[in-house]
Structure 1
Amino acid sequence: MQEDYYVGAYWGPRQETALECARRAELFFHMLARCDPSFAQWYAAGRGFPRELPGWPVRPDMKELETFFLKGRSRTDIGKEVIEDLGFSRMVWNAKKEAINISFCCGGYSPWGNPNSCLIHPFGPSAVWERLVHSPVLAEVLTCVATAWDPDYAMASSSQMVDLIQKRKREVRVGWLTYLSRRLGRLPPLPAPVRIEPVGTLGWLLVLSPEPMTASNPEHVALTARVRELLDRAGLIQRPRPKPASE
């Protein structure tokens, strides 16, 4: 069975302006472009873009990205008033065919809204994405996400593996590549062949295998479950429940 791999980075409520999100996105796009040629140019939706292009080109320029995020403010259904604490939601892609998609939710600080996130995945079957998954590139991508967005955690995994390993709705997800922020706590000893790499002073990248871990391989499932169990015992998996603003 073909498994659906994606990269997901998540962080809790963090009030940031469109300009602050743009500053992070500018760094992210510049870092991402160095990972692979397919990440060199991104596009967004909008009226009147040239039909020979996949959309409006998105330039990694802080002021332009500020405008880009401001267009993605959450609004009420009636009156279209801005909902400040839900932040900004935008999406970009890199091609007309076999496109890779990046979805941003950032600047949100409501304890009841969706988590802030950066998600990277293909729109559909993609030879480019298949090549990237079976290369060291995704480890570099996780480092880019961690450095630019400072998430609580990030992972590369198949959705099938996540369904097998995840036990609670609100928890840190463990993949064959997992980034953990130092904010979560202290990293426990982990079994071979897990490799631990520091990501600056922000956190750690856990590499369970140089190749993608598959949900169809019992040994892969057992190792991923074991790592999750050890991280859970160390208090790194359980995420705190949101509290009302009055508390």
Structure 2
Amino acid sequence: MKEDDLIETYYAGAYWGARKESPEECGQRAEAMFTALRTVAPDFAHWLKQGRSRREALQRPIETDRATLAKMFRRGKDRVFEELGFRISGWNGASDDEASSFLISAGIHSEERIVNACVFDLPSQGLDGKEGPNAQRVLTANVLSGLVRAMAVGWEPEWAIATSRAHRELIPRPRPTRLWGWVTYYSDQVGRVPPLPAPVRMERVEDKGTLLVLTPERFTASNPEHVALAHRVGELLDRAGLLGPPLP
């Protein structure tokens, strides 16, 4: 493995199919998620609108009450196709590789294969390979479990994940409809999660679904034991029908 491959970046995302919702309904869901996130990590407590410069953006805080968020969704409406829903985005004001940001596409009810999604880019190592305090704090099983849980409670997605992009690239193509990784959530509507081998931790998310954590330590694609565990778990999830058919 090349040295550059050791610099892994991480993301979190929740995904669901066509669901027609108003800006007010999207605002209510987003409020529930952001409210839950305030207790997960300080990185997720305050958000800013994006601007033409960092200085401008720092003067544009996002109020995460449902009324304000509904206005943001309304302004983020697709101007041509109503069925393509709404889009909003923001970031937490940290600099460069230490920042977290989000992009939400919701209210989509197109007959085409376009999914609704709530995706967070997470802090990572810098180009020098060093990791700042934000990445050290956020890239833990407990924090990412809290992030995925907040998305699951707020958006009620079919599935959600927080993992390494490098591991995602190791999944053979054609990839299944639903992926799996370090922290994964599956709605009960998708199916029931089967028993999984240690050290995988499983916990319920209210009456909505099941959250899985593959390892208590940071999951990396450069660790053969982690990759082998993920492969075994993927086989069991696939056998249980949770991954769905291959993408075209």
TM over 0.5: yes
Q: 1:239: how far off?
A: 4.9
Q: Deviations over 1:129-188 (max 9, x none)?
A: 332103521111111111011111111110010111254345211011111110111222
Q: Deviations over 1:176-226 (max 9, x none)?
A: 111111011122221122111011100001111111211111111111011
Q: 1:54: how far off?
A: 2.0
SS in 2 for 1:171: coil
SS in 1 for 2:189: helix
Q: Name the CA shift for 1:123/1:177 in 2 (closer, same or farther; >3 Å).
A: closer
Q: Name the CA shift for 1:140/1:36 in 2 (closer, same or farther; >3 Å).
A: same
CA distance in 2, matches of 1:173, 1:241: 11
In structure 2, the residue matched to 1:71 is 75
The answer to whether residue 185 in structure 2 is matched with residue 202 in structure 1 is no
CA contact (8 A) 2:199 2:215 kept: yes
Q: Name the CA shift for 1:68/1:228 in 2 (closer, same or farther; >3 Å).
A: same
CA distance in 1, matches of 2:27, 2:245: 27
TM-score in terms of structure 1 length: 0.87
In structure 2, the residue matched to 1:112 is 112
Q: Name the CA shift for 1:171/1:144 in 2 (closer, same or farther; >3 Å).
A: same
1:33-182, aligned counterparts within 5 Å? 33-45=38-50, 51=55, 54-75=58-79, 81=80, 83-97=81-95, 98-122=98-122, 125=126, 127=132, 128-134=134-140, 136-165=142-171, 167-182=173-188
Q: Deviations over 1:11-57 (max 9, x none)?
A: 1111111110000011111111111122221111358x994752521
CA contact (8 A) 1:178 1:206 kept: yes
Q: 1:122: how far off?
A: 3.4
| Runs of 5+ unmatched residues, structure 2 | 1-5
SS in 2 for 1:174: coil
CA contact (8 A) 1:100 1:129 kept: no
Q: Give the fraction of aligned pairs with identical amino acids, expressed as a percent.
A: 43
| Runs of 5+ unmatched residues, structure 1 | 76-80, 243-247
Q: Name the CA shift for 1:239/1:60 in 2 (closer, same or farther; >3 Å).
A: farther
Q: Name the CA shift for 1:240/1:89 in 2 (closer, same or farther; >3 Å).
A: farther
The number of residue pairs the alignment matches comes to 235
The answer to whether residue 225 in structure 2 is matched with residue 219 in structure 1 is yes
Q: Name the CA shift for 1:43/1:185 in 2 (closer, same or farther; >3 Å).
A: same
CA distance in 2, matches of 1:27, 1:130: 26
Q: Name the CA shift for 1:187/1:201 in 2 (closer, same or farther; >3 Å).
A: same
CA contact (8 A) 2:141 2:213 kept: no
CA distance in 1, matches of 2:212, 2:242: 13
In structure 1, the residue matched to 2:22 is 17
